[in-house]
Structure 1
Amino acid sequence: MEIIGYIASVCIGLILGLLGGGGSILSIPILVYLFHMDAVIASAYSLFIVGITSFVGAVPKYKEHLVNIRTGILFGIPSIVSIFITRRWIVPAIPEIILQTSSVVITKRILLLGMFAILMILASASMIRGKRELQKDDDRFRTFLVLIEGILIGFLTGLVGAGGGFLIIPALVLLTGLPFKTAVGTSLFIIAINSLVGFLGDVMNYSMNWSFLLSITVLAIIGILIGNKLSGSISNIKLRKSFGWFVLAMGCWILIKELVL
């Protein structure tokens, strides 16, 4: 299973490079179910892997003038504050046993993986519809909504260890007026900042297996470099739809495994 996990780690970056998001949708299940890691530690490792990989992926996008640094910083500031608070204090404060009755036991693992699976299912819906790329209605920068969106994305990213690319990209297009391709590049920049700041909160709470973490990260970086090269030659709509069905199946499987099996 670990060999499969190392091979699958390349796909973390590949999806990030092709779609501008979705890396954590693969990284957390890989870490939890193929490497048998604790859910909280897996979410911490996911933040580092996705953060570093997204940063590497954002560099060529920046060279192609597809990263709006100003928008990324303005959008990222509330997310950074929110995710650091969540990873540093909120997640460690969640008890291992949240609810226990004679017939039901809800653990921290079930809560975190259950919420992650629900986010996967919600994210899959927009991908499966296979609509054309989002288009901006106007160029207005809706500052208040951007701040609120940033706080919410930061909290969700911190809670489940997901980068939030499929939430960030629509928000950038609809709330800041960025063109879709620029929103994808800027999303990688925001994911990198958010994830690495969130991981900083985890470093203060847990010890890390750096050799393992860096090996997975290197494989994911290889994937995103390949994904960036292929992004111009593969139909984004068809890819999103196919990946959407995969994400839906994976989300349902995680819910069933954690709640039923």
Structure 2
Amino acid sequence: MEITGYSASILIGISLGLIGGGGSILTVPVLVYLFAVDTVLATTYSLFVVGSTSLVGSASYFKKGFIDLSTAILFGLPSIAAIFFTRHYMLPAIPEHIIYMGHFALTKSTLLMVFFALLMVFASYGMIKKDREEKITDRQPASNIWIIAQGLVVGVVTGLIGAGGGFLIIPALVKLLKLPIKTAVGTSLLIIAVNSLTGFVFSLGQNHINWSFLLPVTLIAIVGIFIGSYLSTKIDSKKLKPAFGWFVLVAGIYIIIKEILLK
């Protein structure tokens, strides 16, 4: 299973490099099901893996001028505040054993994995559906209040389940702020990197970190993002995105079945 886990780790980076988002949503399932890491600890490890990988991935976009720093700050600051609140107050407030129904016990780990799986199903829809070109170009970007609100939502999601939230950030940047897709992807990677690494720092006092395990997984994912970035110059990512979306959908449904019906 560990060999499978390390192989899946490189796929996380490849997917980030190829389609610019969505790959991080695989990190927690890989850690939980292939490496047998505790769910709450897996969300902490995921923050480091996703943050480090996204930071490396954002470097090439920064060199090419495809990062909007002002948008990253406007979106990122509310996210960081939400992550701090979530990691320090919301996540610890969830009891380890929530409810018992016959032979089924709803635990904190089960709740987090089901919530994660539902987000995977939601994210898969955005990947599977065909992108339509916006023909109305004279619409004004959304107000800062909407961006701040979106940043808060992403921060809560990142804090709870350790996912970068690129499946939420990129559509927000394109549809609300009208950023070009390449700039949206680059800006999203920077926001994900800052959010995730900040969330990891916020979690250091709450978890014992096994660096001898975490660093190799992270390095493998980083190698993956270089491979994905190279492949993106050879392969049309628009054709791969729906296929990856179907994979995420199936994985999300599997997690729901496993956590609720097979317990």
The answer to whether 1:18 aligns with 2:13 is: no
Residue of structure 2 equivalent to 1:195: 196
Residue of structure 1 equivalent to 2:80: 80
Deviation at 1:235, TM superposition (A): 1.5
Residue of structure 2 equivalent to 1:248: 249
C-alpha contact 1:169 1:184 (8 A) present in aligned 2? yes
Q: Counterpart of 1:205 in structure 2: which amino acid?
A: Q
How far apart in 2 are the matches of 1:239 and 1:108?
34
Secondary structure at the counterpart of residue 114 of structure 1? helix
TM-score, scaled to structure 2: 0.95
Residue of structure 1 equivalent to 2:224: 223
Deviation at 1:85, TM superposition (A): 1.4
Q: Counterpart of 2:241 in structure 1: which amino acid?
A: R
Write the mapping of 1:82-101 to structure 2, written as runs, cut at 5 A: 82-101=82-101
Write the mapping of 1:38-77 to structure 2, written as runs, cut at 5 A: 38-77=38-77
The answer to whether 1:112 aligns with 2:112 is: yes
How far apart in 2 are the matches of 1:129 and 1:78?
29
Secondary structure at the counterpart of residue 176 of structure 2? helix
How far apart in 2 are the matches of 1:134 and 1:67?
21
Residue of structure 1 equivalent to 2:102: 102
Deviation at 1:101, TM superposition (A): 3.6
C-alpha contact 2:22 2:123 (8 A) present in aligned 1? no
Inter-CA distance 121–193: structure 2 relative to 1 (3 Å threshold) = same
Residue of structure 2 equivalent to 1:165: 166
How far apart in 1 are the matches of 2:179 and 2:115?
29
Inter-CA distance 43–135: structure 2 relative to 1 (3 Å threshold) = farther
Deviation at 1:46, TM superposition (A): 0.5
1:191-234 alpha-carbon deviations (Å, 9 max, x no partner): 00110111112112111001110110000000011111222322
Residue of structure 1 equivalent to 2:208: 207
Q: Counterpart of 2:60 in structure 1: which amino acid?
A: P
5+ residue gaps, structure 1: none
Residue of structure 2 equivalent to 1:238: 239
How far apart in 2 are the matches of 1:182 and 1:250?
29
1:138-166 alpha-carbon deviations (Å, 9 max, x no partner): 45352000000000110011111111001
